[in-house]
Amino acid sequence: MRSSYPLQKKRHGVDFLREITHLRPRTNTFAAAARVRNDLFFGLHNYFAHHGFLHIHTPILTASDCEGAGETFEILAPADTDSPDREGPCSDYFGTPRVNLTVSGQLHLEMFAHAHPRVYTFSPSFRAEKTLSTRHLAEFAMLEAEMTFIDDLDTLLDVTTAMVRDAVTKVNPADLELLAQLAPQLASSGSPSRGKLDAAARAEHVRAAMHRVEQLAGEYAVMTYTEAVQYLAAHPRAPKWQYPVRWGSDLQAEHEKFLGHQIGRPVYVTHYPRGLKPFYMLVDRVPATIPDGVPVDPDLGGDFATVANYDLLVPDLGELLGGSLREHDADALEAAMQRAGLNVAAYQWYLDLRRYGGAPHGGFGLGFDRLVKHVTGLESVRDVVPVPRYYRECRY
Q: Read off the pTM.
A: 0.92
Q: What is the pLDDT of residue 376?
A: 94
Q: What is the pLDDT of residue 187?
A: 61
Identify which of 145, 143, 141 has the alpha carbon closest to the alpha carbon of residue 110: 145
Q: What is the pLDDT of residue 182?
A: 85
In angstroms, the CA 344 to CA 99 distance is 16
Alpha-carbon distances, residue 318 vs 134, 251, 254, 313, 322 (angstroms): 11, 10, 8, 5, 11
Q: What is the pLDDT of residue 8?
A: 82
The CATH label, of 3.30.930.10, 3.20.20.70, 3.40.50.620, 3.40.50.1360, for the domain at 14-383 is: 3.30.930.10
Cα four-point dihedral sign 43, 49, 53, 54: positive
Q: What is the pLDDT of residue 356?
A: 94
Given a contact cutoff of 8 angstroms between Cβ atoms, the answer to whether 323 and 278 are in contact is no
pLDDT tens, N- to C-terminus, the chain (396 residues): 677 888 887 777 888 889 999 999 999 999 999 999 999 999 999 999 999 999 999 999 998 876 655 688 998 877 766 666 566 677 778 888 889 999 999 999 999 998 999 999 999 999 999 988 888 999 999 999 999 999 999 999 999 999 999 999 999 999 999 998 887 766 655 555 555 667 787 788 889 889 999 999 999 999 999 999 999 999 999 889 999 999 999 999 999 999 999 999 999 999 999 999 999 999 999 999 999 999 999 988 889 999 999 999 999 899 999 999 999 999 999 999 999 999 999 899 999 999 998 899 999 999 999 999 999 999 899 999 999 999 999 999
Tally of CB atoms within 10 A around 262: 13
Q: Where are the domains of the chain?
A: 14-383
